[in-house]
Amino acid sequence: MEGQWSLTCVDAGSEYCPCHLAENGTCLACSLLSGEDFCDCRWSGSCSYLNYQFSQGVINKRSECTVLVNKKRLTPSLLDLRFRPKTSWLPKFAHAGTFLFLRPADAPYYAAVPISIVNITADEVWLVVNCIGPKSSLLMRTDSQVIIRGPYYGALTNSHVLKKTRDANVIMVAGGTGQSALVLAAKTLLRGGNRLWACLAPGSTDLIYVGQTLRKYGVEVNEVSSLRRYGAKIIMNQLTQLEPSLVICAGPEELQTTILTMLCSIGSKAEFVHTKNNVMCCGEGLCGSCLTNHFGQKRVPLCKAQYSFRGGN
């Protein structure tokens, strides 16, 4: 397929820029900081190169904090966690695609798992964990003290496009824990005057847990027991009728491929944003667990990358 990848850093221009990738010469946003002798950046609103010069080598690290969580078991493996936010967290934790690393207070740092923030209000931060792996299962067994690290912003492939989408139709599709990415995305899009339609399925979590919240904010929600069996036809109809400017798919890769194939089959020009399903351990572009050469160039850490594909003729 002709076309090219648009690739930048999710933290470019934020308070977490510059980061360790500027130090080690692998900055995703700035060609000067990645060893070139010319500027080739996609202007993010601030200059990563100047930020790095002015910071004099000081990197603004994400902080760790112990919080007291209210735990509720939603299904045998699904855990609902809520804790009170500090006032300073409200704007930082509210971006579409925000996630935190969580671990029990008595667990080592390498037990931390990345978990999307489902929603944040003045009273609570809400997360849902599917405790099916060795790390996430520790959260099921722990008492109420949990250490959080963050915020990280790279749960979606291109959250920047959500802020730019205005007065448009948007379709959101989610299954399993992908649902966790939809509420913050919906709130961002509703602020831009967009009209939102969502199709949700329980998937691997056996539960639809964001339907009510999305409806409360004004999203039209369609719940199905299986996206593959019942959702696909409904989604195809909506894609044809609504002609959305943006489609967000939050779920397994098989689902993302199905939705992308639908978009291609009707010649849709909609932006396609999806959740990243790769393993993440550090979130800082350093550990290598999420490295990919998917973009046809040097290996890129997906935890830091924001990307979209622009097709050619």
Could you say which of 151, 301, 306, 307 contacts ligand FES (CB under 6 A)?
301
Of 28 and 78, which CB lies nearer to ligand FES in the complex structure? 28
Least Cβ distance, residue 289 to ligand FES (angstroms):
5
What are the C-alpha distances in Å from 206 to residues 132, 175, 225, 256, 296?
13, 9, 9, 19, 37
138 vs 303 by CB, closer to ligand FES: 303
Query: What is the C-alpha to C-alpha distance for residues 174 and 171, in angstroms, rounded to an integer?
Result: 10
How buried is 267 (Cβ within 10 angstroms: 0-12 exposed, 13-18 middle, 19+ buried)?
exposed
- In 3D space, the residue among 58, 79, 61 whose CA is nearest the CA of residue 70 turns out to be 79
277 near ligand FES, rule: CB under 6 A: no
- What is the C-alpha separation between 201 and 224, in angstroms, rounded? 5
Structure tokens at 282: 């550090």
Residue 286 found at the interface with ligand FES (CB under 6 A): yes
Handedness of CA 120, 125, 126, 127 (dihedral sign): positive
The correct pick among 22, 255, 282, 300 for binding ligand FES (CB under 6 A) is 282
CB of 231 to ligand FES, least distance (A): 31
Interface stretch with ligand FES, choices 47-55, 98-106, 157-165, 278-286 (CB under 6 A)? 278-286
Q: How far is the CB of 152 from ligand FES (least distance, A)?
A: 9
The window from 115-123, 194-202, 222-230, 284-292 that contacts ligand FES (CB under 6 A) reads 284-292
Cα separations in angstroms, 272 against 175, 246, 263: 16, 6, 9
Binding site for ligand FES (CB under 6 A): 280-283, 285-290, 301, 303
